[in-house]
Amino acid sequence: MTKTNTLFKTLDANTTVLTPNRRLSATLHKRYQQYQLEQQQWCWQTPDILPVSSWIQRLYNDYTSQQFALAPLLLNAAQEQFLWEKIVLHAKESEQLLQVSETADIAKSAWNLLKQWNIDINQSLFHCAEDYATFLRWATAFEKQCQENNWVDVATLPTMLLAKIKQGHIALSKHIVLIGFTEHSPQLRELLKQCEQSGCSINIIDTLSNDETLLNRRLSLLDAEKEMLTIARFAKSTLEKNKTATIGCVIPSLEKVRDRAMQIFSDVLGDDNLFNISAGKNLARYPLINTALQLLGLHKKTIALEPLHYLLASPFLGEAEAERIKRCLFDGTLRQANVTHLDLRDSALLTKHCPHLARRLRQFFARLDEQKNALTYTEWANLFNELLSTLGWPGERSLSSEEYQVVESWLKLLADFTSFDQMAAPTSLQQALYTLQKMAAKTIFQAQTPEAPIQVLGILEAAALPFDYLWIAGMDDASWPPQPKPNPFIPKRLQRELNMPHATPERELMFCQLLLAQFKQSANTLIFSHAEKNGELDLQASPLIRHVPSIHPDELNLDVYLTPSERLYQTKCIETLVDDIAPVVDANENIRGGVNILKQQALCPFKAFAECRLHAHELESPLPGLRSKDRGNIIHKVMELLWNKLDNQAALIALSREQQNKLLDEVIDLALTSTIHSRSDYTQYLSLEKQRLHQLISEWLEGEKERPPFHVLTSEKAAQIKLGQLTLSIRIDRIDALDDGKKLIIDYKTGKNNDINSWFSERPEEPQLPLYSLVDEQNTVGISFAQVASGEHCFKGISRYSLDIKGVKLLSEIKKATVVSWPEQLIQWKSALEKLSADFYQGMAKVDPSDADQTCLWCALKPLCRINEEGPA
Ligand code: SF4
């Protein structure tokens, strides 16, 4: 008969079984059910098996339910945290603290340790250092507040109950069995001793397995990632061989790598119902709750664009489905305009783009504006609920099972929030919201999932749990046993003398040895593993497992692991479909791009098709200040305004330095105010930008003065040009009339890498100037970039004959040019550009970048064109 069955046989209504955690209680209940079924029983009394923390709470409930006198109020976890934070925040030391909440956490954990180890706080050791003395003041304040208000905290409760048991106020079970405890705190020991003295028998069982492990092995793997992957593969392969096996996968610090572990196990097993991960995430990290908190945060006057983008895309708002496209487009509009903050109370813009959202926000602000005074926490909780439902939270679509549980957890959080009324006065909106956010960030939530054969656990949760197979990872010499970590608020000497948790290396060693002994009795097959490297650090097996026979990972005989994409690829049945021709451009089609169409067609036909016909663009990210394209537009505007005033070079040369400066200031001011960036919150920034522009253009104009005489015929002239079937809208930056009346066409560039060689390939990647040269073939004698870039001002162009402008070369000097005469070059450009135009018009949309490395490098269309998936057929 197994140890478990022996235990189950003795269970009756007078026996209570206590476990260190909920998971072991649940396992015992499940095993008891199997045991009864094996005994051919069809109904039975549920055994009294529960975690020790629940038992203590039950003793308290039993006691209070029988008392006529006012029993002390048991603080819940949120109330305790609230009280500690309040004490730390109002302490004189708080001015020097950067992280009040985290400090309160450590103080709370020090208080719990003091209680569990029955330490009298009023001893001289607490006066020997400033930190201890500070904690002593906080702990005294905590104790005083509890006494004055008739509160009791969870850590003090066992001591209180002990006295009540002694006085005979609490009825106990006749038998108490403790299972799976690695150790008992002095406080628990005393409580159990008192139970014994009150007539209760106590029985302690270390583990439920009978024998030592049958197979015990250790192995090393390259790093922690490889280790996790191998565990998942082992679990899969074991389960395939033995469908009823129970498999425990222990990953120390699981809470830190939870998401990655989830991903690896999900990838390897291919079925999320086969495994269960014990670690949860804090509630605020769940999108539903994050959205709720962000929505409540809208009470501020403006919202930064980042959270607004998040809300516009969130499905957890009213009409999120119905208004989805409008919200996406509004998002795109704001990004394009580089707006960094939006005033949501000024709803005209929002009403225009997203009328439903605007209506809900109006109602939200109207309700919020009614609320000026401080409210109790219960009133705030009600108002928060009302505000969220005004905004349509949690959205229109049906919630998944996990989301449903998250909402339930949120409601529980709000219920805990209302309990602060028992300990705090009415408060402001900001304080109430801050408290709620903190609570959500500290509440760990894990959705309940169906029973699974593979359990992924943290190390303490796994202690004493019975498995068929158990794999313990992270057993390297740097982590096991871990470094001691005494609590900073309890005198170290005290912790050492009392052998408190994490106090000394010896204490850590002893605890690890106890855990290992438990693990050895928990499974038939036990595997320890460790990583060989952690970054640069070389690791070896922990001395505590070096006696275990080692094996090579290959001896596990695991199937070769394939990533999900490799698995998919393996099941391929390739049908080749050449699909690089789109429909011919329709006369009514909305094509965007002007001359940019030719540029994109030259770079990559698919890019031109996607951007100019499908209007597929990368979403822009708002940046503070001016983006480089804004700077480029401003330069164009300044130049246009400047030459509209000056008209020719002679007028420029005739200006005195003061006159030129004055003129420049005028046109720069005008250019800036005519852009969206002339915003009042950028005043200081724009004044610096003005200085920069003034300097930049002053330097540029010195070069203009040295050129042979010219006058500016047009600036930023819009025109249309017909090229094959396409009629393209163009805007020529500038056309100069030279002394002989001929024309030089200029294109401003604010970047530095302008290469005229790109004009001479079959697919000219900078086709603007070659195209503009065809507008007036007879009179155009040169085309040139005007590179307005600090320290590298120059012209880069070509001409029919020498124009005596530095940087503008003769066609014959260009090595890449295949013809020498200007008319021939114009014919060549015309033919190349007409081909690009015809290809685009005919729907030529081949994934064919002109230079796969360079052209694709910054292109955002990779998920659409799937060039990275292109392989040999
Ligand atoms: S990523 Fe490359 S191949 Fe794909 S559309 Fe862009 S340029 Fe073309």
The total of other beta-carbon atoms located within 10 Å of residue 375's CB is 16
Q: Mutation test of ligand 1: which of 763, 856, 868 has the most ligand atoms closer than 8 Å to its C-beta?
A: 856
Q: What is the pLDDT of residues 812-853, one digit of tens each?
A: 898 888 888 999 999 999 999 999 999 999 999 999 999 888
**Mean pLDDT score across all residues of the chain:** 91
Residues with CB under 6 A from ligand 1: 604, 606-607, 847, 849, 855-856, 859, 861-862, 865, 867
Q: How far is the CA of 859 from the centre of ligand 1 (A)?
A: 6
- Pairing state of beta strands 444-445 and 281-282? antiparallel
Query: DSSP character for 423?
Result: T
**Where does the pLDDT of residue 873 fall: very low under 50, low under 70, confident under 90, or very high at 90 and above?**
very low
Flag the least confident range among 210-214, 543-547, 734-738: 210-214
Which letter does DSSP use for residue 543 in this model? G
* Dihedral class, residue 150 (left if φ above 0, else alpha if ψ from -120 to 50, else beta): left
In the numeric block, which tokens belong to residue 687?
A: 């004044």
How far apart are the C-alpha atoms of 620 and 339, rounded to whole Å?
11
| Among 349, 153, 96, 563, CA closest to 161 | 153
What spacing in Å lies between the alpha carbon of 849 and ligand 1's midpoint?
A: 6
C-alpha–C-alpha distance, residues 53 and 720, integer Å: 80
CA–centroid distance for 552 within its chain: 37
* Residue 148 or 753, more confident: 148
Helix/strand/coil for 580: coil
If you measure from the C-alpha of residue 310 to the centroid of ligand 1, how many angstroms do you get, rounded to a whole number? 28
Query: For 533-552, what is the mean pLDDT?
Result: 93
As a whole-number percent, the residues of the chain with pLDDT over 70 amount to: 97
* Spacing, Cα 870 to ligand 1 middle (Å): 12
User: What separation in Å is there between the alpha carbon of 607 and the centre of ligand 1?
Assistant: 6
Residue 394 has pLDDT above 50, yes or no: yes
CA–CA distances in Å: residue 822 to residues 666, 722, 757, 780 = 40, 21, 16, 10
Closest alpha carbon to 763 in 606, 607, 605, 595 = 605
Count of beta carbons in the 10 Å neighbourhood of residue 213: 18
What's the token pair of residue 419? 């309990």
Atom of ligand 1 nearest to the CA of 866: 4
* R_g (Cα) of the chain, nearest Å: 38
**How do strand 537-538 and strand 710-723 relate by DSSP bridges?**
unpaired
| pLDDT the model gives residue 1 | 52
Q: 199: buried, middle or exposed (CB in 10 Å: 19+, 13-18, 0-12)? A: exposed
Q: 656-686, pLDDT tens digit by residue? A: 999 999 999 999 999 988 765 555 567 888 8
Average pLDDT over residues 279-303: 90
663-667, Cβ contacts within 8 angstroms, sequence gap of 24 or more: 664/638, 664/694, 664/697, 664/698, 665/690, 665/694, 667/638, 667/641, 667/642
Position 212 scores a pLDDT of 60
Judged by DSSP in three states, 151 sits in strand
Q: In this predicted structure, what is the pLDDT of residue 852?
A: 83
Provide long-range contacts, Cβ within 8 A and 24+ apart, for 828-831: 829/759, 829/764, 829/770, 829/771, 829/773, 829/774, 830/774
Identify whether 583 is preceded by a cis peptide bond (ω within 30 of 0). Answer: no
How many other C-beta atoms lie within 10 A of the C-beta of residue 733? Answer: 22
Res 477: pLDDT: 95
Give the pLDDT confidence of 227-252 residue by residue, as tens digits: 999 999 999 999 999 999 999 999 98
Residue with the smallest CA separation from ligand 1 atom 2 is 856
* pLDDT band with cut points at 50, 70 and 90 for residue 105: very high
Among candidate residues 539, 564, 517, 500, the one with its CA nearest the CA of residue 232: 564
- DSSP-based three-state secondary structure for 606: helix
Determine the residue of 600, 606, 851, 864 to mutate for testing ligand 1's pocket, defined as the one with the most ligand atoms within 8 A of the Cβ atom.
606
- What integer pLDDT is reported at residue 214 of this predicted model? 67
Confidence of residue 715 (pLDDT cuts 50, 70, 90): very high
pLDDT at 205: 86
- Minimum mean pLDDT range among 173-182, 210-219, 416-425, 483-492: 210-219
Which positions ≥6 away from 755 have C-beta within 8 Å?
A: 766, 796
- Cα separation, 368 vs 383, in Å, equals 9
DSSP state of 75: P
What pLDDT digit, counting tens, does each position of 428-482 carry? 999 999 999 999 999 999 888 778 999 999 998 888 888 999 999 999 999 999 9
- Which of 6-10, 23-27, 832-836 is predicted most confidently? 832-836
Ligand 1 centroid, distance to 861 Cα (angstroms): 6
**Using CA positions, which residue lies closest to atom 5 of ligand 1?**
607
Pick the atom of ligand 1 nearest to 604's CA: 8
Pair 305, 341: CB distance under 8 Å: yes
CA 617 / ligand 1 centre spacing (Å): 12
**Ligand 1 centre and the CA of 832: distance in Å?**
21
In this prediction, residue 752 carries a pLDDT of 87
Q: Model confidence at 563, in pLDDT bands (50, 70, 90)? A: confident
Ligand 1 atom showing the smallest separation from residue 848 Cα: 3
Instruction: Give the DSSP per-residue string, 652-715.
Output: HHHS-HHHHHHHHHHHHHHHHHTSTT--GGGHHHHHHHHHHHHHHHHHHHHHHHHSPPEEEEEE
Give the sign of the dihedral formed by CA 855, CA 860, CA 865, CA 868: positive
Percent of the chain past pLDDT 90, that is, above it, reads 69
pLDDT over 90 at 279, yes or no:
no
